[in-house]
Every structure is written in structure tokens, then in C-alpha cells.
Amino acid sequence: MIDQKVIEAFNLMWGAFPEPVMLIHKNRDILAANEAYIKIGGPVGVKCSSLGDKEMHKGCLANQALESKRPAFVKYEVNGKKAVAFWLPVVNYPDIYIHVSFGATIDYDRG
């Protein structure tokens, strides 16, 4: 069971963030998500690895981030837009991380 304080802190920090953000357990269960993720139909309580096609998970750096206790990121393209995905370990909670992409739903080049 995840400490409810972590869920509350996640919601305070990421709740209104304009890109989809998930709080994920190392077993890949999505523990919480922000408004932007929910708005695009993203489910909570399922394994993130079950979403989309298998190909999109090949670049997952969650294990690297959790083992190193340091953020990991990868640049990629989605629908012709450049994006960056981050896996951010949660300090003092070695079994959970935050997953967010910048540019996944917002085209920052449009200004």
C-alpha cells in the first residue's frame, strides 16, 4: 500500500499541469494521474505497460531511473511533434516514479 501522503503530494504538484502525468509503482500499476491524463481518457489502477501497443514501451527507462535514483529521459516524435519523456524517481519512495512527457499533447513550437 502506498502512503496516501504521496498521492496527495502528487495531486498538489501535478494536478493542474497541462500535460498528462502519472504516478506509477515499479510493478507498473498507475497509482494516480493528473487532470490532463484523465481528460484524454487515461485509466488509473491498470498497468501502464498494458496501454497502447507494445512498441511504444520499448524505450521505457523506468527501471533505469529507479535503479539509479536519478531522472531518465528520452526524446521522441509523436504526430510529427518533438517530445521528451521523463521518468522521475520519487525521493524516499524507491518503488514509485513519476512519468511525464513534454510535447506529447501540446505543440510548444506553435507559440
What structural domains does the chain harbor? Answer: 4-110 (3.30.450.20)
- Predicted TM-score (pTM) of the model is 0.92
Question: Is the Cβ–Cβ distance between 86 and 74 less than 8 Å?
Answer: no
Query: Residues 22-68: pLDDT tens digits?
Result: 999 999 999 999 999 999 999 999 999 989 888 878 889 999 999 99
Cα torsion 106, 20, 34, 86: sign:
negative
Which of 2, 4, 6 is CA-nearest to residue 91? 6
Query: Residues 55-101: pLDDT tens digits?
Result: 878 889 999 999 999 999 999 988 888 899 999 999 999 999 999 99
- The C-alpha cell that represents 3 in the structure block: 502512503
